[in-house]
Amino acid sequence: MKQTALITGSEGIIGAILKRALASKYNILGLGRRKLDIDNYFQADIADLKNLESVFNRMGKIEVLIHLAGNPHDDAPWESILKNNIIGLRNIYEMAKRFSIPRVVFASSNHATGCYEGTPPALHNQDHPNMITVKDAIRPDGDYGSAKVYGEAVARQFYDLYDIESICLRIGTVREHDDPTREERHMKTWLSHRDLIQLVQKAIEADVKFGIYYGVSNNTGRFWDISNAERELGYIPQDNAAELRR
């Protein structure tokens, strides 16, 4: 029997990629705000706890929850961030607790440390001294980044208090067309579709109860350290944006 994985925000860019890629291994359920006539898709407003609980009551047993839902724009207004990325996030973890979902993969963001860009990070990383690591203090670059930091804190809270395992992925740049060459920053921050799929699958399967990891391909000039993802999750990125320009 396949395990059941629920993907919130399943019809977004990342959700659509994962839904297609993981369907052969997992029974995929989707959840989003839009009303869509799609098999195994549920409509709900994640900021409405009562509505959300009524929807979860119809889903059956879920082994892993991949939480992507929320406003995906780093310049989104505070009111939307508060509703969708903070209240909605907290509600999703409450559902994980109430419905005994043992594991959450949370789509955090590189914006949790966005203010390091252009500034030398801490130099405690002897192997990669110019890279930002998960040991560096948070430096969110706006309300969106701060909401992702809050999400990581809630993930830790629910693990410590309720034993809900969480893998938080500070995702880099995922493009629908999977082409980072159109913007110079993306040459360093790109997470290819292939590497995204591998990273999420490793996050589902790894024998790690809680962790925070950067999600980026093996790009020349990348400035996020993925050594803990390689060591603890077994993530080995296959792609490098620089190779696309050869």
Q: Name the residues annotated as catalytic.
A: 144
H or E segment to which residue 32 belongs: strand 26-32
Phi, psi of 108 (to 5 degrees): -80, -160
Q: Where are the alpha helices (DSSP H) in 64-142?
A: 78-80, 88-98
Taking alpha carbons only, the member of 4, 144, 85 closest to residue 93 is 85
Residues in the chain: 246
User: 188: how many CB neighbours lie within 10 A of its CB?
Assistant: 20
Locate the DSSP E strands across the chain: 3-8, 26-32, 41-43, 64-67, 103-109, 165-171, 210-215
